[in-house]
Amino acid sequence: MAISVVMPALEMAQETGKLISWLKKEGESVAKGEPLLEVETDKAVMEIESPGDGVLVGIKIQAGAEVPVGQTIAWIVHPGEVPPADEVTVESGRKISAAAVASVASIAASANQPTSPTQPATQSVKVSPKARRLASERGVNLADIRGSGAGGEILASDIVAAAASKASVPPPTVDGGSPISRLMAERTTQSWTTVPHFFVVREVDASALNDVRQKLGPEIEKSCGVKLTHTDLLAALVARVLLKHPRMNASWTNQGVRSNAAINVGLAMAVDDGVVAPVIQNADKVALGEIAVQRRDLAERARGGKLRPSDIAGGTFTISNLGMFGVDAFTAIIIPPQAAILAVGAIADRVVPVGVGPDARPGIRPMMTLTLSSDHRVVDGARASEFLRDLVEAIGSPLQFFNNAGAGD
């Protein structure tokens, strides 16, 4: 039986997808699970796997086309099998071709087109023959011209003046942006205007975080082939602290607060035309070295536009680190339906009190600012503050969470 290949829905509220390329040619054999085509969604370019075994036939859509979700774009058949014809059933029960339906719809749409409101106006105004010819040559709309002749007649001089005015004012340019940048604009606007954000801020001494990176970094680089970063350490620590604060790992839905069994930490990453947040699944159970490997691989795929659907699915908490750009502190916008996002600033030497009470003295320490954005529908200020307090304590003594680089626990 023939299997239809349809434009998949890879995201919430996705209406269309853009076909980037076919990875198999018409008539080639394909196996179930084998990469079949590349599709661009609002987030990234993703490889789509074949839904079954057989021969790829009946390709209807070529690279570059924007296709509605759910539309059949090709068929996979057994050798010698013919793909189904494109037919639709009308009210009478009779089947007619889809092309015929489209033709009828096109004719009906044309018949229902309203007459341009400017048409009577241009017909009622006198236009000299020379002015009409100049307007056609210079692309001037007669409906926009107020004639200077007797009775409002449009003269050739009116057309010349309008064309000169049009040429002297450059037309405005509008950058529609890429699908990723458009989606980012829509979702951040939706989040900012519908999610009741509040923010708590803490400064933390990053000395111990620097020390553990220097201690475990060489071992992880040797065993895993990747450099350990502060983001890797923060992802691991955040995931482990979330175990004590399940409400911070929850989500808001139309029915209320939903608890998430898994702790999946998203890492906000800048790409050429926006920001994506691929996810480290079950980050509380993943060893530190494996987190570093996954972070590197996700970053490479993000930069290459090759993120898979599984790479961006299921995030329950996100970290956005702009420290590498020298940003001291910032606030981040929550990614719904997540309850929170942690904004991380640069580690910089600052003069702070060292010691407690009357024995405290000014000293220089590598300090880092953390800003936690939270959804007030899911957590209150006390819960957010307690989570941030425990995270600051974990950053102050991170080695207790990593017995060795391989185990990570």
Q: Which of 53, 197, 273, 376 is catalytic?
A: 376
The span from the CA of 218 to the CA of 216, in Å, is 6
242 torsion bin: left (phi>0), alpha (psi -120 to 50), beta (else) = alpha
Distances (CA, A) of 205 to 217, 278, 322: 19, 28, 17
3-84 CATH fold? OB fold (Dihydrolipoamide Acetyltransferase, E2P) (2.40.50)
**Which residues pair with residue 110 across a beta bridge?**
none
**β-bridge mates for residue 21, sequence order:** 38
Within this chain, domains 3-84 and 119-168 share the same CATH topology:
no
Q: What tens-digit pLDDT sequence spans the chain (409 residues)?
A: 788 898 887 765 567 888 888 999 888 999 988 988 888 766 667 888 889 999 998 898 888 888 888 889 999 998 888 888 754 433 334 444 444 434 433 433 444 444 444 444 445 678 877 888 888 888 888 888 888 887 788 888 888 888 877 766 666 776 666 666 777 788 889 999 999 999 999 999 999 999 999 999 999 999 999 999 999 999 999 999 999 999 999 999 989 999 999 999 999 999 887 889 999 999 999 999 999 999 999 999 998 888 888 898 899 999 999 999 999 999 999 999 999 999 999 999 999 988 888 888 999 999 999 999 999 999 999 999 999 999 999 999 999 888 654 545 5
Catalytic residue among 86, 144, 211, 380: 380
CATH class of this structure's domain 119-168: few secondary structures
Please name the CATH architecture into which domain 180-401 falls.
2-Layer Sandwich (3.30)
Long-range contacts from 401-407, C-beta under 8 angstroms, 24+ separation: 401/236, 401/237, 401/240, 402/212, 402/216, 402/236, 402/288, 404/219, 405/216, 405/219, 405/220, 405/223, 405/287, 405/288, 405/289, 406/223, 406/287, 406/289, 407/287
> In angstroms, how far apart are the furthest CA atoms of the chain?
96
Domain ranges of the chain: 3-84, 119-168, 180-401
Indicate if 380 belongs to the active site: yes
Let me know if 376 is a catalytic residue.
Answer: yes
For the chain, the distance separating the N- and C-terminal CA atoms, rounded to the nearest angstrom, is 50
361 DSSP β-pair partners: 354
Single-letter residue type at 181: S
